[in-house]
Structure 1
């Protein structure tokens, strides 16, 4: 018994020593690109450090997940080396990658720091250790283009891929940047989803193994979530997830099922890759073919530098500096042009028609291209020479013009693929087969559509526009009145009513619960109404309900919102017994709310806007012009009459400074009389239009300084009204 008791610990110690020796890397060890079987492995076998072939004679040294996909770290940032290259763990403790010629490609710079061994941990972290087994250098502290679970991405660390980089800022923001020779362009900036502002103590970005990406700090111990992978928490034990900065400049969460050898993308920072700066290179146009972005030269007046690498962009066939055939302007419909360096002082803005935007740029030596937005603004932007790229989409309301030498050739460049003469018959037969098949499919779908229209009541479906709801990217869906009548069960379940109409509960066929608002007393035209819908649908905020769709048939105007699961706001601000809504605020609560509006207006009249700003923000940099705009807009939004309040579209324009803001009138002062006959004055607004109830005494908190205000005898009862036609609050 004693023998076995002593033997078991010895066996465990021996097994541990064997396991450690298999994972340990000793000084003087080397890996050679010519021997693909050489590798330094983790003890669990999930990761290995080895040379990965990139072609017949090129390799890179890096840490790979089981199966060779993906590479989570690479020596020298993915530097390409030849077959005679080697990775040496030198006797002085330095890890060095050398080419076949003996040139140093990369090294860890750990010479003389007491490094005595190395180990590839089960997390994929390569660690150089001293004699006390303390880490001296690690691959997690020197990432290349990938972050894995258990890895902390902190201040000062950078992911790089080509000309792109990814950083974590001291305020908690994470950014994607295009790094050019003359400066950097930040094209994606994600802020914290918290109310905490200012510099953080020690922020770090972490990817959880289940697919959750978040920023942590001592000030936000619970973390600020950035993104979730589409396969969040699925098959956590068999799926390896990682965050990668791709070669085209996007930040993505990838997943690999163990043993599959293939990757899937679960999240990407920039969903529209044409919005990634420099995606297609200089003088090239980014557009979409089906669902994939493609890069093309603007026309046959241009040619690519390298048809195999569109990052190099295009060039003019005839240079403008030596043009003897006359300079003309190439029109590019639904296209906007961007310039690098990001020098807005070089871009000149004028007010003129599209024709003038084209002709004036052609005559100006300082103008290389111009863009005229078709948004009714009448602006024209002159763009000087430099790094110019374009983005083309049917949804872009703008026309751009690009200078070319000689006649404008609107034809796109032909494909470089050349068919053999013997293939022409095969191509012709294939074209006929495709056309016949396509015609048959169109005929079938037309018949199916006709049948569905004839049997709508039995079919129970929605319109073809609504069937795309689940696949839409946030655009509002247009419903018919008949559809919404069926969704709401004949407008049966009424949720509430406001100044612009009643709100009803509805359930879509995909079981999404919505709130349908019937607008009343609206004198908008069709075009103005649709512009309002487009404005509010493009406004996204954590505290705003989303506009799902709308209906506009004749004089019928309806809005479809997502339903607030926790109830309406009035259920919280109109307090009643046992938390029930329908009651109203106490005299003290009402007075405090109403006094604030009057006090704020008085401070605004005095020019003391800083007094209205939250005291916690006073020490920070504040844009007082923006504060002034927001305060003035707020006074317009609390006008008693709905007709005096601005629409949401106008609110956005006023806050953005697109249109001037007229000086708002003072909040209306009304009076209420308690049962004891005491008269109290309050401010009437959409934030405080509460029906009155008798009280026994005047609240002591009411300031006597308001006694000089005009008062009307008797009590009053004012209906609650909503603040805007297209406000996000629909109760």
Structure 2
């Protein structure tokens, strides 16, 4: 069978050149430092360093552990970050008597001479190569290889075939079809113990072309969705195609996923974390720390059996707790956030075959809002009393529940979760405890009830005061007209059943977003609406409150109008005006782009600018959208733009020094300050707007370009260069065959270049952008941003001076005479 290879080109281009992400620290090495030859060995504090100085191989001890391991870590990062471990299951007690060498049979072996002559670890290569014909080399990719000395292209063994918990760019996760061996990521047990933990990521053992995360290599609790030729269908954000170059390869010998980064300056790693989440990290040099940019599952409590036996994952705090009457089996492990050992009883149950089934020394603690443990035993019972009696009569019964029948659990309880009120699939669990523990629980509950009562009374008083204040203000108006106007401006609250009817049971899907799916609905009066059904009650609830409190109070011709909402239990929905022409990305990238002539495109750009200027400067509180992109620009029947999806929006005061740390927009449209950790202001929207304008002009994704006779690695780079050369017609979507107002085109290109400047100080406000586009302000050509300039000069391997590039980059726009 021939090789099938699919590639998804996706990376945040400004990340490639940010000065904060760099391999360029000066390291003094020799060419031989990255090799280990026959007759040589590594011991004690000796290390070998990859040729370019990116990675180092040697002995290390994680955290405060006294154990020693052979591993690979980043050389140029002060915070030691290990990416591969050789002897993860067999630690060394000391390094002075240990050595890493090439054995007589040509394998790389780790020996501990103080204990045994048998290798502590071996590469176990089956190659026929002998000791004298292979050497070990640490490559700049982080791959440790055994290769033929005379022909280095012949690889005998490599660490990329045996990953531990980290997937580096250029590495792979897959399966060798001939040997049946999986290249999988397996978590560390905890931060001080690199032995195999509970969680692993691999290709689906059932054979489908998707990634899965498993607990104990047996229980799948997350799936990526199958590869469709471009993306894994259930991975959030992949459809944006702006992060990494991801490929899926299927040959007769192997099937695997691999990814690359489009620049040598970006430092990133994918880790199967001991929390059970797969995480993507990027190194931020200015902060001297790793920045988390992606994680799945999104919630820690979605990880199967996160807290071990008799442990509870609390969705409100996203942390592990022991059930009442239990304590951590290992306090030391819990301090390291290793909950695998779970919890054990503080006081053992006295129930035995010789005890009465109605022993008064035991009882049941009521635990509401619980997701029930795994493996219940179903019993026939006509009442909760009969169900309790069945549990009492069985000394191995730990807990029971009564709802849709009687369920009991024997022995330890697995995968317990404390859910927020109103969440689906929750119920009341009755936990068997000794009477002494029930007394403690009762005292604690009484105290909690008193606090709750006090809080409720105080809340009622506050609400009463607010109601009286509102009534007083309404009475002062003495005008029924004024009151009606206030009511008219409010949102409509719908019943869930109503929205089910108008959407025909949510049958016509018209889109999907970060937190939910959008369906078309039609009311009896033929009014069409878009109903957004929020998915995932945690993030959905947060977004719901956000959108409800902001969108319900703002009105602008270029903003999608929020009509109403629904909130029943965990069900949360938003009702918007329906936009018959869909989203902008459909017309630019997937639909009939010819329908968007230049006049409409320019009107869309101006309309979006006006909407953002309104959000930033005209609302009582500044609203930062945080996710401007073509997917979030909707078009009405006349192709007038409407900015949508305020799920990422945040209300901030006029003090922009606050750093918004809980949001992430879409890579490729994100301003550099998102990654560098600088405060987020409305200028972050300005950057995203500029990137979007380039796509409106060209009709293509910024990373999906080619030009006759020229290499176009990234459109904004090429556009900025052409603009400075005085050429703008070549930037226009070729499907428009030059049919555009060239003055408007030049103006839009200049505005876009100013919007994507690295420093927010050099970007205009959205109010100024509107004036530029309308011709009120004259615009000079902007300098090429540093992050783009370094890519333009990359082939000459020269790096521009930031001081030099910004010396003459003060904003050059002025009122048109």
More helix by share: 2
Report the TM-score, using the length of structure 1 for normalisation.
0.49
Which structure has more relative contact order (CA 8 Å, sep 6+)? It is 2
Report the TM-score, using the length of structure 2 for normalisation.
0.44
Higher Cα Rg, which structure: 1
